[in-house]
Homo-oligomer: A and B are copies of this chain.
């Protein structure tokens, strides 16, 4: 262990994603991050970042150095604030870092690095009133199975039994699950902080698993992340509109009408939000897509069940269409530009946001939620 990588000898902090008893990952004051893992019997230990444009390391694996005590150490150059999936390769075999919490991504529990932003605390756990994140089990007729969803109720929800709330349905990306938006995305803290300063309408947020199977269908066990097929889109749409929305309206104190429902999602979930949301205007008046995984050119006459064909009708019935991407995720940024062009030409009212300097990563989506939430169910 080199002196400059020793925790406590320099300013810095443990990563907030570290487990309670771990001293690594250590984030130095200058933004460098030191990882360490005891592995006396390993021949090689490497860090592999999730994704191609990670702020943690640009797509390449980074080798640890073995110390005499069998502790392998890696210090990476300054990492920009945000959340990054990663895993270790121990003698080439993917494993989790024993020092961090796991986060469900890439279809499995995955290590995560949280790097705080000294200049911004919009997604931090602050000294403000906090809502609850409720785990609810419900039976879905569409899939013939019990499912689990997470429901954020805003601060004060239990205090005023007469008050009703609008609902944001919020979807994760491919390989993630219903836990992503709270564990990785900190959606609950983002909302808590906005609500504390009156910057958003108090709302319920419902987070579902974006994968849905037909009754009796067995999940694919390829070990890889399932593709977003038309079939998956349709199954999820049926689940959401036929099972989830009625269950939520029957269970929570919602305002049960289209103008008080929004559907949002990121990446795969962004495509789901556009496809399901725009094709079901009787259910959702607002549709929000972060880094939507939608790369084919839009035909404005046929896309989303023809929802865009009549711009006047669309603009009259749509409360908000809001799209975003990070400037560091080229493919998704270009897809957004392409979509903006089609929508503008068609005369479809919409809003866009670009997260500066972030890629296909949670910081893009946290910022997107933070930017769109104040616009929902208002004005």
Contacts and interface: CB of A to CB of B under 8 A. Distances in A.
Interface string A130-155: 10111111110000001000000000
A133 B104 CA distance: 19
Contact of A158 (B107, B139, B182, B251): B251
A223 B136 contact: no
Interface residues of A, number: 54
Given A108-B98, A134-B132, A135-B133, A40 B219 contact: no
A43, A135, A211, A220 pick with most chain B CB within 10 angstroms: A135
Interface in A66-111: 90-96, 98-99, 101-102, 104, 107-109
Interface stretch (A17-25, A267-275, A327-335, A365-373): A17-25
A230 interface: no
Interface in A16-72: 19-23, 37-43
A60 to B, nearest CB: 18
A74 to B, nearest CB: 15
Nearest to A182: B135
A1 interface: no
Contact of A130 (B19, B39, B136, B223): B136
A223 B223 CA distance: 31
A131 B284 CA distance: 28
A217 interface: no
Given A139-B127, A146-B125, A92 B42 contact: yes
Contacts of A23: 221
A221 B158 CA distance: 39
Interface string A159-184: 00100000000000000010000100
Contacts of A223: 21-22, 38
A224 interface: yes
A134 B135 contact: yes
A250 B191 CA distance: 23
Among A39, A98, A219, which residue has the most Cβ atoms of chain B within 10 A?
A98
Given A19-B108, A21-B225, A134-B134, A91 B94 contact: no
Given A136-B130, A219-B20, A221-B22, A98 B102 contact: no
Interface string A212-243: 00000001111111100000000000000000
A183 to B, nearest CB: 10
A21 B130 contact: no
Contacts of A219: 20-21
Contacts of A211: 20
Contacts of A37: 93
Contacts of A177: 20
A49 B133 CA distance: 33
Contacts of A96: 95-96, 102, 109
Nearest to A89: B41
B91 A224 contact: no
A225 B41 CA distance: 23
Given A41-B93, A91-B41, A251-B158, A107 B21 contact: yes
Interface of A: 19-23, 37-43, 90-96, 98-99, 101-102, 104, 107-109, 125, 127, 130, 132-139, 146, 158, 161, 177, 182, 211, 219-226, 251-252
13 contacts: A19-B107, A21-B220, A21-B221, A39-B93, A40-B92, A90-B93, A96-B109, A98-B108, A99-B108, A127-B146, A130-B137, A132-B135, A133-B135
